[in-house]
Amino acid sequence: MTKLGKRSRAIRAAVADKVGLSVEEAVNLIKDNATAKFDETIEIAMSLGVDTRHADQMVRGVVGLPFGTGKNVRVAVFARDVKAEEAKSAGADIVGAEDLMQTVQGGTIEFDRCIATPDMMPVVGRLGKVLGPRNLMPNPKVGTVTMDVAEAVKAAKGGEVQFRAEKGGVVHAGVGKASFEADKIVENVRAFISAVAKAKPTGAKGTYMKKISLSSTMGAGVSIDLANASEQYELRST
């Protein structure tokens, strides 16, 4: 077993008896213990009562966080001609067609979000085995297959977060940086929980939200009270 350092032991001790916290309490506790020498990412993980092996229980969606993620998102766009120029003008980091496909096939993936115009999907489709496992495959359900590439690029750069339930029904994402003011992280967390709640699939049975936890890059996780989270979702959806 790896021996924990003094800092790690202190962080674990600080959160050891903290369970079922409100979103505000969890955020403040995580911020107080995010003492690494870099700006740690605040991460949320949600355990859902779904079986992703069944198509009608897949959870997938996108949410625009009110205060962004604090991360510089690199965006690649598959487009030609006028749409390629629109993507470049909107701030896309990489724009291409068959040339970009060949670059990705060669193992170079220097982007965090991939967008494509509908006519480019036969080309992008060849990259399914490369982009799919990385959750980078463009999909119309989350707005990354679109003719409005400029708006899609701006959304990605502005703090839009995609989410998808992984094996075991776990959804996770970065919802800000430790340097953010606490109330901004709280609003981002609430927005993310609300989006996942609204994405409940028709095939989900029983309890949908089973556990919600918050952590920082180098910190231990703390659990958020499900009733508190549900109440906040109800308030936001009315």
Whole-number Å distance between alpha carbons of 118 and 103: 20
201-210 residue pLDDT tens: 999 989 999 9
Tokens linked to 228: 């508190």
pLDDT value at position 165?
A: 93
Task: Give the chain's domain count.
Answer: 2
Mean pLDDT of 116-136: 95
Q: Is residue 7 domain-resident?
A: no
Mean pLDDT of 155-160: 91
Q: Is residue 45 domain-resident?
A: yes
91-103 residue pLDDT tens: 999 999 999 999 9
Which pLDDT band holds residue 222 (cuts at 50, 70, 90)? very high
Q: Tell whether 62 and 87 lie within a shared domain.
A: no
Decide which of 1 and 49 is more confident. 49
User: Has residue 1 got a pLDDT over 50?
Assistant: no
Q: Tell whether 140 and 179 lie within a shared domain.
A: no
Q: Is residue 3 domain-resident?
A: no
Burial class (CB in 10 A: 0-12, 13-18, 19+), 88: middle
pLDDT value at position 238?
A: 43
Tokens linked to 53: 């092996």
Q: Tell whether 226 and 175 lie within a shared domain.
A: yes
The sheet carrying 94-96 orders its strands as 94-96, 75-78, 113-116
Tell which of 157, 175, 210 closes a domain: 157
Q: Is residue 6 domain-resident?
A: no
Which pLDDT band holds residue 159 (cuts at 50, 70, 90)? confident
For residue 195, give its domain range. 12-69+160-237
Burial class (CB in 10 A: 0-12, 13-18, 19+), 85: middle
Decide which of 15 and 79 is more confident. 79
For the entire predicted model, the pTM comes to 0.81
Q: Is residue 1 domain-resident?
A: no
Tell which of 123, 157, 191 closes a domain: 157
Q: Is residue 2 domain-resident?
A: no
Q: Tell whether 172 and 233 lie within a shared domain.
A: yes
Whole-number Å distance between alpha carbons of 97 and 88: 13
Q: What is the CATH number of the domain that holds 146?
A: 3.40.50.790
